[in-house]
Amino acid sequence: MTRSTQPLSLTINGRRVGPVAVPDDLMLIEFLQEYMNLTGTRYGCGLGVCHACIIIHDRDDGTSEKLPACITGALSLNGQCIRTIEGHATRDAAGNVTALSHVQQAFLDHFSFQCSYCTPGLVNGVTVLIERLQRHPVPRDQVEQVVLDSLDDHICRCTGYVRYYEAVKQLILQSPGLTTGGDA
Amino acid sequence: MNRHGMTRREFLRAAAALGVTATVAPLARLLAASSAADARLVASPHWLDQAGNIRFRQDGISKITGSKVFAFDIRARDMPGWPQQQAYAFMIRTTRCDRVYEGVDLSMLDDGLKPDRLVVAADLKRDGVAMPEPDFYGQLLLAEGTVPTMLGQPAALLVYHDYPRFRAAKARLHFDPAVIRWGSEGAPVERAPYGVSRFVRIGGATPYDDDVFSPMIHEGPDTDEAVAAHAKTIADLLAAPPPGQRVFERQFASQSVDPAALEPDNGTAWYDRATRTLHLVAATQAPYVVATQAMTMAKASRLGIDAFRFYPTSTVGYGQKEHSSFPYYVTMAALYGDGRPVRLALDRWEHFQSAIKRHAFWFDTQIAVDTHTGKFTALKSQMAADGGGTANFSAAVGQVAATAIQSIYYFPLNDLSVTVHASRAVTAGSMRGFGTLQSMTSMEMMVDEIAQVLGIDAIELRRRNVLHTGMKNTQGAVPAGSMRAHELLDNAAAHPLWRERDRRKKVYEAKRPGYFYGVGFACVQKDYGTGAEAAIAQIQFDAKGGIRLRHVVTEIGTGATTSQIQVVTDMLGRPAQTVEFAVVDWPELKLVSNENPYGNTQAEEDRFSKNPHWVPTLTSPASASNSAFYMSHATREAARVLFDYGIWPAAMAIWGNGSGGGQAAPLSIRREDARWVDGMLVAPSLEPLSFERIAMVAHQRGLVTGATVHTFNRWAWASARFPMGSGTYEAPIDALAVRYGGAADESTHGYTFVPRVSVDYPPTQRNKAGVVYYAPHASLVELAVNPGTGEVDLLSHHHVMDCGRMIVPAFVSGQHQGGIAMGIGHALYEELPRYEEGPGNGQWNFNRYRLPRASDVAVWRQTAQYLPPLSPSDPPKGIAEVVMIPVVAAIANGVAHATGKRFYELPLSPERIKAALA
């Protein structure tokens, strides 16, 4: 019996891929891992609960959203642009990492992660948050609540979240234009 | 199998015995060698700043960029020399234990979705494929015509040569009970308990006098009768306490939970038929146990192997991947891959269904108390645990739970017994805490209630009974070093949360009518290590001052590898710049071992140890909170040899150079006066020397420029004496090899084995100590209970811990915060039914198993304090397990303070709280 497939084209981290014939019900995480060999997007639950698999969907209007790749149909993003953990750092022509993103650097500097299985999802989640704050700054005294509201869906079993959250708070407070008002 | 597991050397020796060529290549190194992108990162010590301080974890760049660090990330195309195309496999598991299993029914799969290979028990029997150590791990696949012994028992393996058909077939069969054909009614075979232990102690006149009877001082054929006689003395006292004493008896229950490592059990393996080589990539905390067993398993099969390649990876497990059977299923799958690499990776439902769980425990505990002094006079506890379907570490978990139940207290008399039963539940095994979480939590909840009943402040009652330095534990052993739990108690008693708890309760409840406010406290001390801890470390420096570290330690997320880089600084003034971890082979030492550190008799050990290459065990896996204390000891001792026989004599040569003995001649200089300041070696008023300058001279003068040491600890360090120079070097190591400057070829190891003159191994009787190394930790929590919903809102928490001297403080606080979160989950949210409604039915996932989130752990409102180390050489303590324990009881005690109700069963779920308040 022939399984029904459809062509899928995507722009992943600025690189256009496809068309690739994929099963109708293929999830995005399967496409990334099994078809593209981009395994930094981590499988945690397959239900969209743990957010280990969060990727960034860049909408046509210039805004972005977090998407759980484990429950997002790959074909639902046909023709769309996404970012994954593999696309955040700057690399040279040989693929060597020459600079990390501000979010990655903050997590690294704060010893935020341990096993790191949840880290790619959090990097993407915080990146979306930072980009939102660039458009819509928040009062400094609301930063802690904003961080909690934005990241509470991300499950980490190793760290207890504190070093992640401290890194994000400091990054927001130290980045020009993300906050308004007085002290946090 | 004992807990310390298999060692690297034993693995290689086993390979030789099997006639198999075996290699172990950590995956990071393999991928780095095959990828220009990662090679630069590995080669560069970018994790150090210009001053040589740790900037970030040595695996940080790989992890933060989503590189392939887990076995879960690996596909065949990533592996050099492997076929590009791989197969995918999944297993069918049974979900009931009340009928005879008659086989699998794949008729619901259309022809296109039939597996390329179906493997059932009959195939394994025909092909000679069997689980290694089945008494420990169970059978690979359930035989037709038998009743499953546990829920979630594997029955069949389905292998597909392509991904689309694999996923479609798996989706079709997932959750469909019709895939199993059931026959007549039946019941699992009754099995004996996995472990039964008892610890009876009759203390001397004071806690410091010799015991009348205890495990530490009595053994032999008459011990059982003596145990019974002394236990009767305690039972009689508890049944009819003397005037002025009161006996409290309570029952507690602690639930089964899933460690919930986010990386599910998985692996990829390839059986190369052309060369009869088995390649295995597996997620495990015990890589050399897995490697040895998988190799042996494949060799014994009809296919056989001539070569074996194993690729350990970074992983995460909290014990869940310490000694799991899963890698052997990956091995099995490879043997049926028809020459293709096979990926066997669990989804979350399957991981819940089969991965190792924490033991559910039940306690019936009696404590006798002098009501006038508040002093505890006797402890008796009967403990039972559910070990689930296979034995795993159940017996050891029971023993460790029993030896921990005393928590931070001294008891003159104790009778502690434990039975760990077999059942049809999913297998329980090693998990962070290893039984102590359950037993110490019950004690801390009980002590809190006793204080309330006696009208004594709960911390004050603890103070009166705390085990001080030199007092004995329940096995009769004296714990190592200064016991500092009393400092934690003093600290907590002075904390505003405790001092002001009644006032705060009034204020909060006035502000939020209907809510109950409470403050809870608990304090425990947890052992670290297994009683047979071994490590190997090698440090050497080149003539330009570059330091290279090689070590057996492996990375499971805790930062153990990065920490060892930093430990070098203690003796050499700077961290290692070039590092290699999970090192397999140590030809420098040529060690041998019968690997029976718990079982050797004293006479045997005395005889074996005459061979200077013999050690009780070679290395330990990443487990039991063992890296900070035990792994660091090896690193530090290797560095000490380098300092004493390389750095210091070279420095003296520089200072003594010149007419009349140079600048050193007029001064009195002692070795112990030396210090490293800003990377320079200083001593009294002598010229500060750079490491580079010293290293150059050490090489020129042929001094020691490299040291390899082996260490062993049986609740005390083995120590030995070695001929060095014109004298004898005595150190807490049991094997040594050194490299001399000038003579050494940098392309080879260039080491010379130094046979020990004599060695003192801790007596085998010391195995009875159970534990002597403790890390104490106290927790204070404030919380609010919503009686309408039963929800507990954690408002803030404060913790105090003695962790000795911290190696990398960020790792300590990270472990601390993570452990607290896991403890909060155990106290409030996490619970698995053990049988038909539990995870063995294949229907559990994170939608119904609540892991704590940031909003559950008061992420912005938690504080911690670490006792200052007692001295600059106060060793780091193993804290990865103790950090999650006291918060559990502190929450329970806080809920009791809030509601006025005592709870005896965990977790404190909304349903239980609502029921109690109804």
- Chain segment B202-233, per-residue pLDDT in tens: 999 999 999 999 988 876 666 788 899 999 99
Amino acid letter for position B384 = A
Q: What distance in Å separates the CA atoms of residue B839 and residue B78, rounded to the nearest whole number?
A: 33
- The CA distance from B448 to the nearest CA of chain A, in Å, is 26
> Is B63's Cβ below 8 Å from some Cβ in A?
yes
- CB of B514 within 8 A of CB of B788? yes
Please judge whether A40 and B65 are an interchain contact, meaning their C-beta atoms are less than 8 angstroms apart. Answer: yes
How do beta strands B735-740 and A179-180 pair? unpaired
Q: Name the residue of chain A whose CA is nearest to B345's CA.
A: A43
pLDDT at B89 over 70: yes
Most confident of B458-467, B656-665, B767-776: B458-467
Please tell me the distance from the alpha carbon of residue A150 to that of residue A156, in angstroms, as a whole number.
14
**B709 pLDDT above the threshold of 80:** yes
Taking the CA of residue A110 and the nearest CA in chain B, the distance in Å comes to: 8
Q: From CA B781, how far away is CA B797, in angstroms rounded?
A: 4
B104 pLDDT more than 70? yes
Chain B residues touching A28 at Cβ < 8 A: none
Between CA B472 and CA B211 the distance in angstroms is 9
Four-residue CA torsion sign, B511, B512, B514, B520: negative
Q: How confident is the model at residue B747 (pLDDT cuts 50, 70, 90)?
A: very low
Question: Strands, DSSP E only, in B560-630?
Answer: 578-580
CA distance B456 to A9: 71
pLDDT at B622 over 70: no
Q: Is the pLDDT of residue B45 over 70?
A: no
Classify B119 as helix, strand or coil.
Answer: strand
DSSP code for B832: B
First vs last Cα of chain B: how many Å apart? 49
DSSP label at residue A131: H
Q: How far is CA B289 from the centre of its chain?
A: 15
- 10 Å Cβ neighbour count for B787? 16
Contact of B164 with chain A, judged by CB distance below 8 Å, is answered with yes
Choose between B748 and B589: higher pLDDT. Answer: B589
The Cα of B132 is separated from the nearest Cα of chain A by a number of Å equal to 29
Of the partner residues A94, A110, A120, the one whose CB lies closest to the CB of residue B66:
A120
Chain A with chain B: Cβ pairs closer than 8 A: 206
Shortest Cα distance, chain A CAs vs residue B105, angstroms:
19
What is the residue extent of each domain of chain A?
Answer: 5-87, 90-180
Task: Please list, in sequence order, all residues whose beta carbon lies within 8 angstroms of the beta carbon of residue B626, skipping any fewer than 6 positions away.
Answer: B528, B529, B530, B533, B620, B878
A69-108 residues touching B, CB cutoff 8 A: 84-86, 88-89, 91, 94-97, 100, 104, 107-108
B393 CB-near residues (< 8 Å, 6+ apart) = B3, B322, B323, B429, B430, B434
Interface contact B37-A114, CB threshold 8 A: no
The CA dihedral of B737, B742, B743, B749, to the nearest 10 degrees, is 50
Per the CB < 8 Å rule, is A113 touching B167?
A: no
Token digits of residue B772: 């002597």
> Whole-angstrom Cα distance, residue B881 to residue B883?
5
**Residues whose CB is less than 8 angstroms from the CB of residue B278 and which lie 6 or more positions away in sequence, other chains included:** B269, B270, B271, B272, B294, B295, B298, B305, B307, B308, B309, B331, B334, B335
Nearest CA in chain B to A45: B348
Q: CB-side exposure of B308: number of CA atoms within 13 Å?
A: 28
Give A143 to chain B, closest Cα distance, Å.
11
Cα separation, B591 vs B889, whole angstroms:
45
The Cα angle at residue A63 between residues A60 and A65, in degrees rounded to 5: 105
Per-residue pLDDT, B744: 52
Taking CB atoms and an 8 Å limit, are A42 and B262 in contact across chains? yes
Rounded Cα distance between B795 and B104, Å, is: 52
pLDDT at residue B316 tops 70: yes
**Residue A58 Cα, gap to closest chain B Cα (Å):** 20
Query: B230 with B444: CB under 8 angstroms?
Result: no
* Inter-chain touch B859–A162, beta carbons under 8 Å: yes
Contact A49 B845 (CB under 8 A): yes
Residue type, B268: T
What residues of chain B lie within 8 A of the CB of A49, using their CB?
A: 845-847
pTM recorded for the entire structure? 0.93
Give the pLDDT confidence score for residue B38 in this predicted structure: 37
Residue partners of B608: CB distance under 8 A and separation at least 6: B594, B600, B614
The helix (H) or strand (E) run that includes residue A169 is helix A162-174
Burial of B486 per CB tally in 10 Å (0-12, 13-18, 19+): middle
Beta partners for B712? Answer: B534
- Among B53, B262, B812, B884, the strongest candidate for a mutation testing the A interface, having the largest count of A CBs within 10 A, is B262
Phi-psi region of B152 (alpha: psi -120 to 50; beta: other; left: phi over 0): left
What confidence tier does B25 reach under pLDDT thresholds 50, 70, 90?
low
- 3-class state of residue B671 by DSSP: helix
Residues near B649 by beta carbon (within 8 Å), at least 6 away in sequence: B698, B701, B703
Smallest Cβ–Cβ distance between A162 and the set B72, B808, B817 belongs to B817
**Residue/partner pairs of B751-754 with CB below 8 Å, 24 or more apart:** B751/B588, B751/B706, B751/B708, B753/B588, B753/B589, B753/B590, B753/B612, B753/B613, B754/B722, B754/B723, B754/B724
Return residues 130-169 of A near B (CB < 8 Å).
144, 148, 151-163, 165
The CATH number of the domain covering residues in A5-87? 3.10.20.30
Chain B residue numbers with beta carbons less than 8 Å from the beta carbon of A158 are 316, 557, 814, 818
d(CA B677, CA B684): 12
What lies within 8 Å, CB to CB, of B33 at 6+ separation is: B39, B80
Q: Does residue A57 have a pLDDT over 50?
A: yes
* B444: three-class secondary structure by DSSP: helix
| B638 vs B745, more confident | B638
CA–CA–CA angle B540, B543, B549 (5° rounding) = 20
Report how far residue A29's alpha carbon sits from residue A46's, in angstroms, rounded to the nearest whole number: 9
Distance of CA B424 to the CA centre of its chain: 26
User: Is the Cβ pair B167, A23 closer than 8 Å?
Assistant: yes
A 10 A CB-CB count for B243 gives: 5
Nearest CA in chain A to B824: A160
**Tens digits of residue pLDDT in B257-273:** 999 999 999 999 999 99
pLDDT of residue B108: 95
B161-200 residue pLDDT tens? 999 999 999 999 999 999 999 999 998 888 999 999 999 9
Residues 6+ apart with CB under 8 A from B401: B359, B361, B383, B385, B418, B434, B435, B436, B438, B439
d(CA B217, CA B768): 9
Interval B818-858: pLDDT, tens: 999 999 999 999 999 999 999 999 999 999 999 999 999 99
> Burial level of B84, CB count in 10 A (0-12/13-18/19+)?
exposed
Percent of chain B with pLDDT over 90: 76
On average, the pLDDT of chain B sits at 91
Q: How far apart are CA B266 and CA A33, in angstroms?
A: 15
Instruction: Report whether the peptide linkage leading into residue A19 is cis, meaning its omega lies within 30 degrees of zero.
Output: yes
For residue B156, the cross-strand partners are: B92
For β-strands A5-12 and A81-83, DSSP reports them as parallel
pLDDT at B362 over 50: yes
Comparing alpha-carbon positions, the chain A residue that sits nearest to B167 is A26
Q: Which residues pair with A57 in a beta bridge?
A: A65, A82
Which of B367, B250, B411, B409 shows the shortest CA–CA distance to B896? B250
CB contact under 8 A, B817 and A120: no
Architecture of domain A90-180: Orthogonal Bundle (1.10)
Out of B247-256, B664-673, B814-823, which region has the weakest mean confidence (pLDDT)? Answer: B664-673
Q: If you average pLDDT over residues B551-566, what whole number do you get?
A: 82
Q: Which regions of B763-896 does DSSP assign to beta strands (E)?
A: 774-785, 792-801, 862-866
What is residue B408's DSSP assignment?
Answer: T
Burial of A136 (0-12, 13-18, 19+ CB in 10 A): exposed
Contact B66 A86 (CB under 8 A): yes
Chain B residues whose beta carbon lies within 8 Å of the beta carbon of residue A120 = 66
Between CA B485 and CA B659 the distance in angstroms is 57
Beta bridge partners of B251: B364
Model pLDDT for residues A97-134, shown as the tens digit of each residue: 899 999 999 999 999 999 999 999 999 999 999 999 99
Mean pLDDT of chain A: 95
- pLDDT for position B30: 59
